Structure 1
Amino acid sequence: MKKWIVITWLILLFSAVAALFWYSDWVYQQPTPVPENYQTTNFGQLITLKAPLAALKNKPLFLHFFNPDCPCSRFNIKNFKSLVKQYNTQVNFSVVVMTTKNYTIEEIQKKFDLNIPVLFDSAIATSCGVYSTPQAVLLDNDHKLYYRGNYNKSRYCTEEKTNYAKMAITGLLNDHATIAFNKSALQAYGCQLPNCTK
């Protein structure tokens, strides 16, 4: 009798944990709601940036919008680091931290194990049309918007064939005027700004 109680309890516990993981994954596969006051930023539009980013016009600029409290942002760190490692000689990279909590530049750099610029300016997200994290923004040398969207179709950034951020970098570096991305690349998924809500 005790054996069956333990087995039943373990099955219920396992089922509850599995349901929790399924629900969490399902929530983050839903598009992030578009804010009521959202203003579209079009591809090719000039993005006006302040110092220190304004001076970075020697090569394309990749902005990584990151919220340390967002699970999707944390899953994305490895993918972002691989892009920096592969393209850092051809592209300028910067992390734009989107949170209401206080973090230092050093804390964010330590999370990524990268020595790249870290900014805490939500106005950059507004000017680029970003309303969730993680999001990738790629600007050309003249700071015109080339790409704004997701890193990957997979929440864990594991699908190479849907590595949208990498495709955008490759396209820009190969002088492709535009790349036709599908809805899963361009529709925002993840944590809604600024408080990591859905």
Structure 2
Amino acid sequence: MLRKLLVGLWMLLLCIAISALFWKNEFKYSLPTPIPKNYHDIVMGSKIDLKCCITDSRPIFIHFFNPDCPCSRFNIPHVSGLIKKYGDRINFKIVVLNKEKDFSIEEIQKKFDAKIPVYFDNGIAKSCGVFSTPQAVILDGSRNLYYRGNYNKTRYCTNADSNYAQMAIDSLLKQTKTPSFDALALRAYGCSLPKCTK
């Protein structure tokens, strides 16, 4: 009888531990990121003033990234692929949002295998209406907000039918009407600012 009780307790503890790990590493990141209390929404089509990031008249793609956010880490290969595919037609930038640690520009560039500008300015996120990582922001040639949202509906960016950021790039480059996206594209998922934790 005692042995059955101990085995039952052991199984219960094991189930609790597995559930806690699942919550910590997976499920909580599938929930929408809470909108901050003092959040000021930036409407699509708004002019975005980013004096720091303007180098020429090409559209700008800003990747908001936190090296400590699991969601950010999982989409590094996807973002690297976008940089390689569109880097000659789009100005790619990375904005690192992490107040807890210092990272060098070289460390970030190495992660993405790309020599693109890296910024550590939280003000850029505020200017674009970004409050979580990872997020993609695309500004058209006139510096209007063309897209702000997720990369994909899956955490690993593996669903070709929901490559939202890539669809927005393609639409912008073809100068077609901005595609209409569902809530999975436009509602923030990932790690919350300012500390980029969930």
Structures share a fold, TM > 0.5? Answer: yes
What does residue 159 of structure 1 align with?
Answer: 159
CA drift at 1:174 = 1.0
1:48–1:54 contact (8 Å) kept in structure 2? no
3-state SS of the aligned residue for 1:55? coil
What does residue 39 of structure 2 align with?
Answer: 38
CA drift at 1:123 = 0.8
1:43–1:147 contact (8 Å) kept in structure 2? yes
Aligned equivalents of 1:155, 1:194: Cα separation in 2: 21
Report Cα offsets for 1:104-157 as digits up to 9, x if no partner: 111111121211110111111001000000000000011100000000100111
What does residue 66 of structure 1 align with?
Answer: 65
What does residue 103 of structure 1 align with?
Answer: 103
Aligned equivalents of 1:119, 1:56: Cα separation in 2: 17
What does residue 93 of structure 2 align with?
Answer: 94
Letter of the 1:99 counterpart: N
3-state SS of the aligned residue for 1:147? strand
Report Cα offsets for 1:170-190 as digits up to 9, x if no partner: 110111232110000000000
**TM-score, L = length of structure 1:** 0.89
Q: Give the RMSD, CA atoms, in angstroms.
A: 2.2
Q: 5+ unaligned residues in a row in structure 2: which ranges?
A: none
Number of equivalences: 194
1:83–1:166 contact (8 Å) kept in structure 2? yes
Aligned equivalents of 1:134, 1:10: Cα separation in 2: 38
Aligned equivalents of 1:120, 1:197: Cα separation in 2: 17
Q: Percent identity?
A: 52
Letter of the 2:155 counterpart: R
Aligned equivalents of 1:157, 1:13: Cα separation in 2: 33
**TM-score, L = length of structure 2:** 0.89
